[in-house]
Structure 1
């Protein structure tokens, strides 16, 4: 049963700190495996005689297989000890990543990415379920702040190290690096993490498919699903064309581009824990709304920029990222609190699946809005994309408000 929310945030126990560190490192390997593929694109296309269309299929195959596995795993997600479930999918992820490292043809790499997505796509959902099981709601903002640092760390540390190894030993070494780190994390989870199985005593659905249907048909859960989908659509619309916009419209050079991502990542390492702590101290919806307003202002400025100095782009990206994180952390924390303990695994799996699919749809829609005459021409209608994303953010404020109201009612019922 959920513990009632307290007025002050309790310090973490030593075991909780260990779990946070392991989940953050685990998330780092998952994010890095996905993000390192784009920087390795040139290596892969040349060494495996891959066309740009073929490379696009390799990238998207992970997202679509991850989305499919989220739905397939949802019915079973609450039927097992969370630790065992995490280790099962993490082992599959490690094997898939190892196959990526051993691939010698385009077809082998494509199959390896599908396998990696089938297992890796569920791990984020299981991790969020574990956070909800182990940590009280007044601690989860801080936990999410640390776990979400994996995204920043992958930009600042993982990708540069992966590219450095690729330059020395070839692109295979970047995936081998992830495999070695993941094996060490997996062994530590086996030895140090306790069983997470309290939810098993509350199970009433004998059939996994019936369990999935109950999660999908729950009206409260549906509100959380819709809010997550809109969050993902807004974020994924701008991301695919970010680098092209900076180079072709803002006139940032290829050599300067890594600096933009590196400084943004470094800033986010500082910002994320602060936002997580803030969302535990004050109303999470208010933090989300403030971040949404900041994000809208910066998006409208960013998508209408003319060429400006590098330092200005860095500052704008850092503040924009602050707005985005001020939305993601409290919204994720609220959404995690929606399901009952017996449904958490199913809810998180469906939620993760919708997130992947919504991101794919968003990227597709963005491609229909943005146009470019030649590969070196400025992007057209990027400002229109900024308006569309801003409208989606406003709609998302209303949806997250509904989630917030549900969570507060749930908290009062346990008071």
Structure 2
């Protein structure tokens, strides 16, 4: 079946979004399950913490490189076919992780998983923009992004349980089986979304994606959005254990409660993003998110009953920014550039996350007792990135008002399409209406 934007019946639209969320869930879970396996993997392969950090970094590095490369070619292909091929490669790479006999084999398997998974994630976002009309796009984004809190709920606790019962291979075997099931469902439910690209060469396509000011502001917005969270998240668990006094056995409850709260908050945030100006929604949710970061990064010894609601507030605050911001980004680009654009922005977000990790690592140190010193400075850096995220969203709205407005208030906006369209300063409608 071939479809164009907004052509799916409600039942098929729901099936599409659930399937895309399942793809994202497998992708995010593959990344998250590495975190609690560090001690076991270091023991099995007799590697240092630094060598284990390469296993963690391999995924993001490969995803960033492949995401940029995907910008050259992704819009050549039907979205469904591209996603099925990429997710098949991701599934095979996950299986390779499960059976890896050596450290190097596991490292290369992680690189392959990141290369396929990173681009697959960008195709998922592009399909939401291609198939879901603007008036429901915020809610659709929140449905797909519910994969992140679900991975927090299932990823960390389940990985610990399985690894304790059947060694470190078990979580990857489970994820391989899950990915095969999702792949089968995707092959049956995903609609064909044909390429809307003209006869542009890869280099011309990439240039059109990179040079347009609307796209450039979208890149900055996506990068800042990821930087703000990545500056805090890697040190959250060590801080809760060393600074706050939470035991390792209690840590899964933090992720379970926080992920559950985020999961139930996401649909409401999606509805708000569709009902109101997306910039205004982003501004409203950013203030409590900043407060959550500041409280958590300054937290001293605290009993678990108080930490649980604070951490839930933190998880919700982090997650709440993504539906309005990503809906703005997706709305700002024409369909013929959307696949390559989202692939490039995925690469930028992976690079921003890595940069945030490095910057936080320079600010945070440990004293003789293992307590984290300087985590509050990382919190201030994160809050600064929050503020710049809102500022860049405002700048994107100035040049592309249609990206943020309630679709019922759509109007002609002054802008210049990336290439092949009207000249600069010519009026044209939103990217979904533009020729």
TM-score band, normalised by shorter chain = over 0.9
| Aligned 8 A contact 1:45 1:55 in 2 | yes
Aligned to 2:352: 358
Aligned to 2:308: 314
Matches within 5 A, 1:8-407: 13-197=10-194, 199-200=195-196, 202-205=197-200, 207-374=201-368, 376-407=369-400
Q: TM-score, normalised by structure 2?
A: 0.89
- In structure 2, the residue corresponding to 1:296 is in which secondary structure? helix
Q: Which 4+ residue blocks in structure 1 deviate beyond 3 angstroms?
A: 1-4
Once the 2 structures are TM-superposed, how far is the Cα of residue 107 of structure 1 from its aligned partner? 0.7
Once the 2 structures are TM-superposed, how far is the Cα of residue 409 of structure 1 from its aligned partner? 4.2
Q: Is there any run of 5+ residues in structure 1 with no aligned partner, and where?
A: 5-9
> Are residues 399 and 2 of structure 1, via their aligned partners in 2, closer, same or farther at CA, if it must alter by over 3 Å?
farther
CA distance in 1, matches of 2:58, 2:142: 29
- Greater relative contact order structure (CA < 8 Å, 6+ sep): 1
CA distance in 1, matches of 2:388, 2:60: 25
CA distance in 2, matches of 1:34, 1:3: 31
Q: TM-score, normalised by structure 1?
A: 0.93
User: Which is worse superposed, 138-147 or 401-410?
Assistant: 401-410
Once the 2 structures are TM-superposed, how far is the Cα of residue 281 of structure 1 from its aligned partner? 1.2
- In structure 1, the residue corresponding to 2:245 is in which secondary structure? coil
CA distance in 2, matches of 1:243, 1:163: 14
Once the 2 structures are TM-superposed, how far is the Cα of residue 12 of structure 1 from its aligned partner? 6.7
CA distance in 2, matches of 1:339, 1:232: 19
CA distance in 1, matches of 2:295, 2:129: 37
CA distance in 1, matches of 2:340, 2:399: 19
Aligned to 1:408: 401
Aligned to 1:7: none
Once the 2 structures are TM-superposed, how far is the Cα of residue 282 of structure 1 from its aligned partner? 1.5
Once the 2 structures are TM-superposed, how far is the Cα of residue 284 of structure 1 from its aligned partner? 1.2
CA distance in 2, matches of 1:47, 1:384: 35
Once the 2 structures are TM-superposed, how far is the Cα of residue 297 of structure 1 from its aligned partner? 1.8
| Aligned 8 A contact 1:337 1:407 in 2 | no
User: Which is worse superposed, 35-44 or 151-160?
Assistant: 151-160
Once the 2 structures are TM-superposed, how far is the Cα of residue 2 of structure 1 from its aligned partner? 10
